[in-house]
Structure 1
Amino acid sequence: MYQAIGSPGSRLIRVTWMLEELGQPYRIVKAARDSEEMRRYNPSGKGPVLVDGDMLVTDSAAICAYLAEKHPEKDMGPKTPAERAHLNAWLFFAQSELEAPLWNRHKHRAMLPEAERVDVGPWTAAEFSREINALEARLGESPYAMGNRFTAADVILGHCGQWARDAQFAILSERVNAYFDRVLARPALARARAREAAVE
């Protein structure tokens, strides 16, 4: 059985959502960022971490990509080297571009010591708006990142969309909002949220 290590309500939801989509059994192990418990799984003290037997996989995008390829029967990963490159491009875009302004604003409002915080609000809003425009162009008329099928890329992108909405970032694109509505309405995400909420 897989173990999903991290803090409920964080990027851990990407892992539990992916596992629910795949129909795989798993156990959530609660471990706070920078805690001694978390450092046993990841020296950086950051979650989430997936435990698969003797293997540890860190970073939510890497975890989702790993799970997608390990369970090819669920059709959530690449089928060819070209598709792998396409999927990786989406995952890298989601984490290095779309998520960056979300994380930067969160750090300066809630994570960093008071003396190190600066007002990054205007910059992050402008940067996020540019990335939403890029997301709209990249999606085109496709219902999902990889075309007509839901994949690991949509898990990461969808979580970014939920994060942005919760943090009240403006999303002015009707196409992108429709995309986020589509992926965030998936029953597997609702099940993952319920599992995390039940963790004591």
Structure 2
Amino acid sequence: MYTVIGPVQSRTLRVIWMLEELGQPYDHVPALPQSDSVVQINPAGKVPVLIYDGTPITDSTAIMTFLADRHGKMTYPAGTLERARQDSLTQFLLDEFDAALWLAARHSFVLPEELRLSAIKNTLRWEFEKSQKQLIHRMGEGDFVIGDQMTVPDIILAHCLIWALTAKFRVIEPRLSKFLAQMRERPAFRRAVAE
């Protein structure tokens, strides 16, 4: 049994969605970041945290990779060229999509008001749109990021696109809009957001 800690309105959604896709049972504790209960488990106070066998695992991507490897689903085998491509696309999404959205969030409501730079969001929006064009050229031919198999980067991309729309970042590539619509229709996604 897994325990997932963090609210669904955060990167915790990625982990819950992954568990739903894998068909694995879990307990969900929607504790907020920086709350005492989270800091006791993760001194950084960040969510999500996955507890497995009494051990906390932090960072949504590390958690999803652990789950995919452990259950042998939603990933390509380690040491294969397909896994190298999967890992490369995962890093691209974290560097180009997730990082821009997180920096915009920090300058919107996370940082103390006197440290926020609202003008930076224009640059981040421009970078986000440029990154979409780069991603389209790296995606496979199928319905998912790499091709015909759903993998870890699919959840990261879908979550980032949802986050982008909430943050008023435009999704300019029709293929990405279609991808997001398909991902939102997945039964596992619907169960995850209903948590």
TM range (shorter): over 0.9
Question: Any conservation in 2 of the 1:135–1:176 contact (CA below 8 Å)?
Answer: no
Q: 1:65: Cα distance to partner?
A: 0.7
Partner deviation per Cα, 1:177-198 (whole Å, 9 max, x = no partner): 1122222221101001112xxx
Which residue is 1:44 aligned to?
44
The CA distance in 1 between the partners of 2:38 and 2:78, in whole Å, is 35
**Could you give the per-residue CA deviations for residues 46-105 of structure 1, whole angstroms, max 9, x where no partner exists?**
010111112221100111111011111xx3112241233222212211212111111111
Deviates more, 1:13-22 or 1:78-87: 78-87
- Rounded to whole Å, the distance in 1 between the matches of 2:11 and 2:83 is 23
TM-score, length-scaled by structure 2: 0.93
- How far, CA to CA, are the matches of 1:71 and 1:181 in structure 2? 27
On the 8 A contact 2:132/2:173 being kept in 1, the answer is yes
Q: What number of residue pairs does the alignment pair up?
A: 193
Separation in structure 1 between the aligned mates of residue 176 and residue 67 of structure 2, nearest angstrom: 26
Identity level (%)? 38
Number of the residue aligned with 1:27: 27
Partner of 2:33, secondary structure, is: coil
CA distance in 2, matches of 1:179, 1:7: 24
User: d(CA) in 2 for partners of 1:50 and 1:91?
Assistant: 20
Q: CA deviation at 1:140?
A: 4.6
Q: 1:144 maps to what in 2?
A: 144
Distance 1:184 1:92 in 2: 23
Q: Which runs of 5+ in 1 are unaligned?
A: 196-200
Aligned-pair CA distance for 1:171: 1.4
Distance 1:140 1:156 in 2: 16
Q: What per-residue deviation string (whole Å, max 9, x for no partner) do you get for residues 114-171 of structure 1?
A: 1001121211111101111111111153321221011121111110011111222111
In the alignment, which of 46, 66, 77 is matched to residue 75 of structure 2?
77
Is the contact between residue 20 and residue 188 of structure 1 (CA under 8 Å) also seen in structure 2?
yes
Query: What is the aligned partner in structure 2 of residue 121 from structure 1?
Result: 121
